[in-house]
Amino acid sequence: MGPMGRRGSSSGSAATAGASPARLQRSVDVMSSTSALPRPADVPATRGPGRVRRSLTPRGVAAGPVPGRFRGDLVTGTWWWSAELYALHGLSAGSAEPSVQLLLAHVHAEDRPTVGEALAAAGTSGVAFAREHRVVRADGQQRTALLVCEPETDATGSVTALTGLLVEVAAARPVAPDDEHVRSLQNEVEQLRSAMASRASIEQAKGILMLLMSCGDQVAFDLLAHISSHTHRKVRDVAVAIIASASGNRSLPDDVREILHDASPPSRTTS
């Protein structure tokens, strides 16, 4: 199987991706100053992106508030927020342009430095994190929320995007002793990170299949599901095997290779 890559990648886009974490760092640096903080009411209204991403709702908080989801593309500089994330900040969906600046604008001033540092490290070094902080809503009310961020990287290891969740933890968990509270929070974090890790692997494997098969996003996912069904493996395990093969770490399992071989166009075969 050929080297791993993202659809539509080129030398130009790779150069842009390399410079993007620096832009994120500058955005975080600007927001570290309280004087530079835009008030929520002053943020210009724009139309939000139309594409809705797959739900990452963890089982651990299914009965509580629905987590708000976000994705920041560091190559293009565009961000996407779910309607739930807007609502958690006291904003109407699409009423403000999503960005790292807007996210930090709603972080309590005392918590903003640590959250900003964590976002900068995620965007430049690919360090995933989970931080509990206070959210200041547009109406001035405060909420305690858990921010979980998982970097996405390309074949060279450069960070290309930040994907994550923000969930109001205070309302999602019952009052409990401190030790039980800590264990509950740790379980929530692990479930969130596990969900995002699975999703990241599947998205990366889809990109590999899209290059290999010259197909679209949905066809690539359908092929993953087909392999999963016929090899009795989880979709995530199939994705991990494809990624490992593309990076040269190990060969594809025989049954997975046979299905990919049969599905490949005549001019492209798997190795």
Residue recorded with tokens 């395990």: 237
| Contact predicate 132/144, CB 8 Å | yes
Picking from 234, 236, 225, the residue whose alpha carbon sits closest to that of residue 259 is: 225
The string of pLDDT tens digits covering residues 33-51 is 433 333 333 333 333 333 3
The mean pLDDT value for 166-173 works out to 69
49 conformational bin, left if phi > 0, alpha if psi -120 to 50, beta if neither: beta
The string of pLDDT tens digits covering residues 177-224 is 566 767 776 776 676 666 666 777 888 888 888 888 888 888 888 888
Tell whether pTM > 0.85.
Answer: no
| Contact predicate 122/159, CB 8 Å | yes
Domains observed in the chain: 11-172 (3.30.450.20), 178-271 (no CATH)
| Contact predicate 7/207, CB 8 Å | yes
Q: What percent of the chain has pLDDT over 70?
A: 64
Phi, psi of 17 (to 5 degrees): -65, -35
Q: At what angle do helices 254-263 and 235-246 cross, to 10 degrees?
A: 80
Measured CA to CA, the distance from residue 54 to residue 56 in angstroms comes to 6
Detail the DSSP E strand segments found in the chain.
68-73, 79-81, 129-136, 142-153, 159-168
DSSP code string of 134-149: EEE-TTS-EEEEEEEE
Picking from 41, 37, 91, 101, the residue whose alpha carbon sits closest to that of residue 68 is: 91
